Amino acid sequence: MEDRAVAVLGRVESVPSGLPWRVIFPDAEHLGATSYLRELAASDCSPLTVRSYAFDLLRWFRFLHERLIGWERAERVDVRAFVEHLRETPNPQRLRRDPDRPPPGSVNAVTGKAELSGKYAPRTINHQLSVLFGFYDHACTANLGPLVNPVPAQRARHGGRPHAHHNPMEDFTIFRRANYRQKTPRPVWRAIPDDAAAALFNALRSHRDRALVSFYLSSGVRASELLGMRHGDLDAGRYTITVTSKGSRTRETVPASVDSFVWLALYLAEQPPMEPGGPVWWTRRSQPAPLNYHAMRAVLRRANASLGANWSLHDFRHTAAARMLADPAFTLVDVQTVLRHASVTTTQIYTQPRLEDLIGKVLEHYARPKIDVATIEPGYDAAAVRELLGLPN
């Protein structure tokens, strides 16, 4: 467990203009971090990415401060110790839990999904290492203090760097996992079964929540994309919505179901638009505010609690993809276009069979009666019959 004094040392502050986020450590702006974050912002990284990198740097600075090491003098052994620290230390985000919720790592009996682990996930550790590698690479180039990057770089088995230009005349290069990089589980997807989705829908408390879930299940948009919609983004005549894609931040039109617009009309009849062109989704408090991601998670958490489930907002996107792929009218490229995946390889994840589907097929296979194979009557010459029918001996 991190020391309490160390855990609160430093902070990440938002800035109204210029660089959106800055690292304050221990009690002044960290110039090295600011220089790196400016590079990210100038490279058209989103403010949320800059914020994420700032917190990763703050975590590293806190760790080095506890070891009485300046960030400029960090060595490879310090990176190794940091990874060991993250592997064993509880994630503070996992400690802020409702005491009535199941413990981390337990499997939900309704959904079959495991609760998030109480420690840092392998992907979180790998992301932390990627941030530190980029930070020290920038610091060495800008001559900010360190002479060598202490974070091991990922290299090909026979030299070269990852993501370099590929010669089409050569085989694709296989890159080995760099030192301290964690093994990550294979990406899996989990759609909500139709009966479970119906039960979840019935557990919702308002037309607003029903409209939101209906849009999630029919359009496959990401949680934050739907919550960021404004009234000018709705086209009830074409049954489409316009969202700002999370990765590219471009405005893209996505089709949705007729039922979604019916629930939306019921919601707007109860709560008319607050302002022209303003946000579509608002809280239901006495002082309404735009509905954000955390408030939507609370909506789903209440519905899950009534069912004993642990479905997530991203499961709605998986469910929409699974339903489209199950329809013969949809091709894989059609689903890729609706989900706005940059590569069809990402969409192919949804074509992988799920364990629950395979269980049913295996049980059906063994329950099927055995079919007797046709044989040659003993009274006939087997070799002559096979020769007559052209069958192999």
Domain positions in the chain are 4-141, 194-320
CA distance 327 to 325: 5
**Spacing of C-alpha 128 from chain mean position:** 16
Alpha-carbon torsion, ordered 303, 308, 313, 319, to 10 deg:
-110
Q: Residue 56: which of 30, 75, 77 has the closest Cα?
A: 30
CA–CA distance, 306 with 205 (Å, rounded to integer): 11
What is the C-alpha R_g of the chain?
Answer: 27
- In angstroms, the CA 312 to CA 24 distance is 33
**Residue pLDDT tens, the chain, 393 long:** 444 444 578 999 998 888 999 999 999 999 999 999 999 999 999 888 999 999 999 999 999 999 999 999 999 999 999 999 999 998 887 765 566 677 777 888 888 888 888 889 999 999 999 999 999 999 999 999 888 999 999 765 445 555 455 555 565 555 678 899 999 888 778 899 999 999 999 999 999 999 999 999 999 999 999 999 999 999 999 999 999 998 788 999 999 999 999 999 999 999 888 778 899 999 988 888 999 999 999 999 999 999 999 999 999 999 999 999 999 999 999 999 999 998 998 899 888 887 777 888 899 889 988 877 667 677 788 788 778 877 777
CATH class label, 194-320: mainly alpha
Token pair for 392: 């192999």
Looking at beta carbons, which pairs linking 197-202 to residues 24 or more positions away fall under 8 Å?
A: 197/319, 199/307, 200/303, 200/304, 200/307, 200/309, 200/311
**Eight-state DSSP code of residue 233:** G
User: How far is Cα 92 from Cα 7, in angstroms, rounded to an integer?
Assistant: 10
